[in-house]
């Protein structure tokens, strides 16, 4: 019954907790009626503060979040956070994480790392990622830099420091429901679920990333927020800049998505992380960029493709991406992948076979594909079915994103080099 009630709550959006600042009060100008209607409410700017030009690091905030939402680490809980509520949440989440490691990571990772013909670059780009850092770490365990890009904004990490018991319980129940799709049910998050990560006292998109780190035995070291300028350079936001941006709420990246209830400052995030408890382990980087990857969206944000292009050769992946790469409206990000991805591991929502062949790419198939799950395109479907039908039958012992339209697990590897047998 609680799960059904929570599902209704998420779909209604009106049950999302009232946001608070790090001081534990609602931002000025917050309007409950506008919030319930899904409208964006303006908030009053913060009082003047000392000017700071150094990037603000939310390291302590992210470690508290990691302790609470991922049930890992040893960061002390804030005084307002009831340990009993966290323990109840963790008693439910920890067995799911353990089961996910056994069921998915231990099976998929040894299989996936053998797929590329050559050793993939240590820089990974994952478009249409949602909150799915966990599969990126499974697919490319040697990655030193992972860039995820999706419509979802990372979120404000500070509010947990002022939550009352009822708000904390409600927030963790909502998060637990959202996480189940990714690590317990479908191996991906549905769009309808991801929309609801944009409101509430716990930044659910950021929480997804932290659970992904915990699954793979990593701990966060720092959290900074950034923008990408018109020539593709990263600019880390200072404390003064973040304070100045508190005066208005962030813009949603797609009109059908739920409007965020936090500042634009918390749109794109960078987490540095390393293996838990090993100070000598290499520090890795995960950057999440909140952006609309359609051609129109990229024209509104010209720095994004410039930024991705500066990375040179990359490894890439995509899964459960609504077949957007099959559409001409997403041709620019598709062309980027065709040119700069040495290898792309995907389900059938990757570059369709006819377009991959035209770009001089080779593709190797696993599992079974008969037709697309969501988007009927006769030309692409015929090319994809022919691709599977004309290659040797290769087994796939796990699910990777969508099943095909007939319920089959499937995967393809797109490479520049000629495929192996």
> In the prediction, which pLDDT does 50 show?
59
> In the prediction, which pLDDT does 182 show?
84
Report, in angstroms and rounded to the nearest whole number, the Rg of the chain calculated over CA atoms.
Answer: 21
Task: Report the distance separating Cα 181 and Cα 164, nearest Å.
Answer: 27
Helix, strand, or coil (residue 387): helix
> In the prediction, which pLDDT does 267 show?
96
Q: What is the pTM of this model?
A: 0.87
pLDDT band at 161; cut points 50, 70, 90: confident
Helix, strand, or coil (residue 221): strand
In the predicted model, is pLDDT for residue 12 greater than 90?
no
The mean pLDDT of the chain is 88
| pLDDT over 70 percentage in the chain | 87
Strands 145-150 and 123-127 come out as parallel
Task: Mention every residue, 6+ apart, whose C-beta is less than 8 A from residue 117.
Answer: 343, 415, 417, 418, 419, 420
Secondary structure (DSSP) of 100-152 = HIIIIIHHHHHHHTT-SSSPPPSEEEEET-TT-HHHHHHH-TT-SEEEEEES-
Secondary structure (DSSP) of 60-87 = HHHHHHHHHHS--S-PPPPTTS-HHHHH
What is the mean predicted confidence (pLDDT) over 64-77? 96
Q: Provide the residue ranges of all domains of the chain, joining segments of one domain with +.
A: 312-421
In the predicted model, is pLDDT for residue 162 greater than 50?
yes
> In the prediction, which pLDDT does 191 show?
78
Q: How far from the centroid of its chain's Cα atoms is residue 67's Cα? A: 19
Q: How far from the centroid of its chain's Cα atoms is residue 46's Cα? A: 30
> In the prediction, which pLDDT does 47 show?
52
Residue 392 burial (CB < 10 Å; 0-12/13-18/19+)? exposed
Task: Mention every residue, 6+ apart, whose C-beta is less than 8 A from residue 45.
Answer: 244, 246, 247
> In the prediction, which pLDDT does 37 show?
43
> In the prediction, which pLDDT does 20 show?
42
């Amino acid at each position: 019954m609680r799960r059904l009630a929570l599902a209704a709550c998420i779909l209604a959006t009106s049950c999302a907790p009232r946001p608070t600042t790090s001081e534990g009060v609602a931002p000025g100008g917050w309007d409950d009626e506008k919030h319930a209607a899904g409208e964006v409410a303006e908030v009053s700017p913060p009082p003047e503060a000392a000017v700071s030009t150094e990037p603000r690091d939310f390291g302590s905030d992210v470690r508290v979040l990691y302790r609470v939402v991922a049930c890992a680490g040893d960061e002390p809980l804030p005084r307002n956070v009831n340990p009993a509520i966290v323990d109840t949440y963790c008693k439910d989440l920890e067995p799911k994480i353990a089961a996910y490691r056994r069921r998915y990571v231990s099976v998929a990772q040894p299989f996936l790392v053998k797929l590329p013909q050559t050793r993939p670059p240590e820089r990974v780009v994952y478009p249409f990622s949602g909150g799915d850092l966990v599969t990126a770490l499974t697919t490319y365990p040697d990655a030193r830099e992972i860039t995820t890009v999706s419509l979802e904004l990372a979120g404000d990490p500070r509010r947990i420091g002022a939550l009352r018991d009822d708000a904390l319980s409600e927030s963790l129940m909502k998060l637990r429901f959202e996480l189940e799709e990714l690590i317990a049910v479908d191996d991906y998050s549905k769009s309808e679920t991801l929309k609801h990560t944009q409101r509430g006292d716990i930044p659910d998109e950021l929480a997804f990333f932290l659970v992904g780190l915990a699954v793979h035995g990593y701990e966060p070291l720092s959290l900074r927020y950034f923008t990408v300028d018109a020539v593709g350079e990263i600019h880390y936001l200072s404390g003064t800049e973040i304070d100045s941006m508190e005066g208005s709420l962030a813009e949603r990246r797609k009109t059908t998505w739920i409007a965020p209830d936090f500042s634009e400052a918390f749109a794109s995030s960078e987490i540095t992380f390393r293996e838990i408890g090993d100070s000598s382990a290499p520090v890795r980087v995960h950057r999440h960029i909140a952006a609309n990857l359609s051609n129109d969206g990229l024209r509104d944000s010209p720095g994004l493709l410039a930024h991705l292009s500066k990375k040179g050769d990359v490894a890439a992946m995509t899964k459960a991406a609504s077949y957007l790469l099959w559409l001409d409206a997403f041709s620019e990000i598709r062309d980027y992948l065709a040119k700069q991805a040495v290898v792309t591991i995907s389900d059938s929502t990757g570059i369709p076979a006819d377009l991959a062949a035209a770009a001089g790419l080779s593709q190797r198939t696993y599992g079974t594909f008969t037709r697309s799950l969501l988007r009927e395109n006769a030309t692409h479907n015929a090319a994809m079915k022919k691709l599977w039908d004309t290659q040797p039958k290769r087994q796939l012992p796990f699910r990777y994103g969508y099943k095909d339209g007939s319920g089959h697990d499937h995967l393809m590897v797109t490479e520049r080099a000629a495929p192996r047998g």
